[in-house]
Amino acid sequence: MIIIIGGGPAGMMAAISAASTQNEVILIEKNEHLGRKLLLTGGGRCNLTNICGSEDLIHHFSKTGSFLRDAFKAFDNNDLISFFARRGLKTRIEEDGRVFPVTDKASSVLDLLIEEVKKLKIKVLVNTSVKEVIVSQSVVKSVLREDGTIIEADKVIVAAGGLSYEATGSTGDGIRIAEKLGHTIVPLTPGIVALTLESTLPERLEGVSLNDVKLVFKAGKKKAASGKGSIIFTKNGISGPITLSSSSKVVDWLNEGKKVSLEIDIMPMLDPKETEEVLIKKISGSSVKKLKNILKEFVPMRFSELLLELSKIPQDKKANQLTSKERKDLIMLFKKVKFDVANTVSFEKAQITRGGISVKEIDPGTMESKKVKGLYFAGEMIDVDGDCGGFSLQAAFSTGYLAGLSRTRYEDLDDSIFVDRKGHRGIIFPKGGSEQWQKEQ
Ligand SMILES: Cc1cc2nc3c(=O)[nH]c(=O)nc-3n(C[C@H](O)[C@H](O)[C@H](O)COP(=O)(O)OP(=O)(O)OC[C@H]3O[C@@H](n4cnc5c(N)ncnc54)[C@H](O)[C@@H]3O)c2cc1C
């Protein structure tokens, strides 16, 4: 009997791969419905993976990313896309290789997973919270539910998620369960998260978006630049794709007690000289126009007013009244609007939890705990965190898939185990260690 704790993407995929090898599987979810967080992903559209090359996937994860090598070998982004395609859900590739369902609905992804769970006759217990995993002499025995009842199991996969968006059910239970069983927990911090700024300016700019800009974060001599993309000002800071994807580095620096500054480059494709040339051309072509109306062609009106204010140019100044000093100041600002970063928004609002169960204590080839036989982990609870762009869900699906297939490394594995790694039935011979997989056609 295999029990899976947590009905998110990692848990559902673990249940599907476990049941595809004809195991008796129970999926336990504490909410009334499976996959609540999945429905929120990608702004409700679900950026389920990224089309980058298979080897490149690992480079989109934190330092511990190489832990995922075997999970990606077993089930990578192409496998995930064909998993959905074979079951009738086509996907589309968007900017930066992000993959979305063609329906633009996260609910299509969830519905398909639920359909598969049903098809494989996986028993699902909803409104059921697991309190503990019971272990005897370092071997998994059963799970204890909140209501005090016990279900026996020879294999338990914990896929209970991280700590953010608590209302979706991710309240850190799995991490507590793992810690209680003697696993090391790498400190939990928010990831892919909006930032707050020291300045009062964002309040006035709330809702203003800047497109095709670049962010440069600095902490002492350290520097991290985002790619080109968009940001949006919030009530007390900034969010938007390039803010979220740069946030991990900023969180690390803030945690180290460093003071972090931010410079926004409004014209990252041009150097200051080229920026000046573009501005001069615009200004001389409409010299009687108010400057702020010219700037509006580059940035939204509220931001153009801010640029004038910061460069101490009167708001109603006409283009032909601009002095060369004022023009230089304005160009400086186009390349560098400066803020100090105060913090991140609350953990609750982070898209992912960084940190979690130490990868040193999990066998990367099976996802089994190195401390407890028969106990496996999958998904966001593990200390690997991906970039913004579909990588977190890919990791959840891949680790779930591998955990579902794997059998304990402590068992006598002379016999081959029958698995489905690439959508075909194949036979895999574990050889020990993380490089254990060999496929027989
Ligand atoms: C707003 C938002 C947008 C996001 N967008 C994207 C995106 O577009 N692309 C991307 O790759 N990632 C995205 N993510 C991240 C992604 O959703 C997570 O990385 C992913 O859901 C992790 O999957 P998981 O199965 O490990 O955990 P979860 O999805 O958190 O699932 C864990 C499940 O376990 C259940 N559970 C917890 N404790 C217990 C217990 N004691 N007993 C029983 N059940 C329990 C929970 O109720 C939950 O259903 C987004 C996250 C957020 C918050």
Q: What are phi and psi of 437, to 5 degrees?
A: -85, 135
Q: Pick the closest to residue 86 from 78, 76, 94 (CA basis).
A: 78
Ligand 1 atom at shortest distance from the alpha carbon of 393 = 11
- Ligand 1 mean position to 425 CA, how many Å? 29
DSSP per position, 114-180: HHHHHHTT-EEE-S--EEEEEEETTEEEEEEETTS-EEE-SEEEE----SSSGGGT-SSHHHHHHHH
Q: Is 49 in the pocket of ligand 1 (CB under 6 A)?
A: no
Q: Give the Cα separation of 197 and 392 in Å (integer).
A: 26
- Ligand 1 mean position to 174 CA, how many Å? 12
Q: Is 245 in the pocket of ligand 1 (CB under 6 A)?
A: no
Q: Give the Cα separation of 6 and 126 in Å (integer).
A: 10
Q: Is 276 in the pocket of ligand 1 (CB under 6 A)?
A: no
CB proximity list for 25: less than 8 A, separation 6 or greater: 1, 2, 3, 4, 15, 18, 19, 120, 122, 123
Ligand 1 atom at shortest distance from the alpha carbon of 390 = 11
Ligand 1 atom at shortest distance from the alpha carbon of 169 = 47
Q: Is 246 in the pocket of ligand 1 (CB under 6 A)?
A: no
- Residue 428 has a pLDDT of 41
Q: Is 42 in the pocket of ligand 1 (CB under 6 A)?
A: yes
Question: All domains of the chain, ordered by start, with CATH?
Answer: 2-190+351-440 (3.50.50.60), 199-344 (no CATH)
Q: Is 133 in the pocket of ligand 1 (CB under 6 A)?
A: no
- Residue 419 has a pLDDT of 45
Q: Give the Cα separation of 310 and 281 in Å (integer).
A: 22
Ligand 1 atom at shortest distance from the alpha carbon of 391 = 11
Q: What tokens does 32 get?
A: 């009334």
Q: Is 352 in the pocket of ligand 1 (CB under 6 A)?
A: yes
- Residue 145 has a pLDDT of 97
Ligand 1 atom at shortest distance from the alpha carbon of 34 = 49
Which residue has the CA at smallest separation from atom 53 of ligand 1?
351
CB proximity list for 17: less than 8 A, separation 6 or greater: 75, 400, 401, 402, 403, 404, 405, 420
Which residue has the CA at smallest separation from atom 10 of ligand 1?
390
Is pLDDT at 131 greater than 80 in this prediction? yes
Q: Pick the closest to residue 98 from 317, 392, 316 (CA basis).
A: 392
Q: Is 218 in the pocket of ligand 1 (CB under 6 A)?
A: no
Task: Report pLDDT digits (tens) over 24-81.
Answer: 999 999 999 999 999 999 999 999 999 998 778 999 998 899 999 999 999 999 999 9
- Ligand 1 mean position to 170 CA, how many Å? 6
CB proximity list for 309: less than 8 A, separation 6 or greater: 315
Cβ(142)–Cβ(153) below 8 Å:
yes
- Residue 408 has a pLDDT of 57
Which of 392, 398, 401 best tests ligand 1's pocket when mutated (most atoms within 8 Å of CB)? 392
Average pLDDT over residues 172-198: 97
Average pLDDT over residues 150-170: 96
Q: Give the Cα separation of 224 and 399 in Å (integer).
A: 30
Q: Is 7 in the pocket of ligand 1 (CB under 6 A)?
A: yes
- Ligand 1 mean position to 238 CA, how many Å? 24
Q: Is 169 in the pocket of ligand 1 (CB under 6 A)?
A: yes
Mean pLDDT of the chain: 91
Q: Is 47 in the pocket of ligand 1 (CB under 6 A)?
A: yes
Q: Give the Cα separation of 24 and 3 in Å (integer).
A: 9
DSSP per position, 75-121: S-HHHHHHHHHHTT--EEE-GGGEEEETT--HHHHHHHHHHHHHHTT
Radius of gyration of the chain from Cα atoms?
25
Q: Give the Cα separation of 4 and 377 in Å (integer).
A: 9
- Residue 433 has a pLDDT of 36
Name residue 192's amino acid.
I
Cβ(73)–Cβ(135) below 8 Å:
no
Q: What are phi and psi of 374, to 5 degrees?
A: 90, 0
- Ligand 1 mean position to 409 CA, how many Å? 27
Is pLDDT at 415 greater than 70 in this prediction? no
Q: What tokens does 84 get?
A: 């959905």
pTM: 0.89
Ligand 1 atom at shortest distance from the alpha carbon of 129 = 42
Task: Report pLDDT digits (tens) over 276-303.
Answer: 899 888 888 777 889 999 999 899 999 9
Q: Give the Cα separation of 327 and 325 in Å (integer).
A: 5
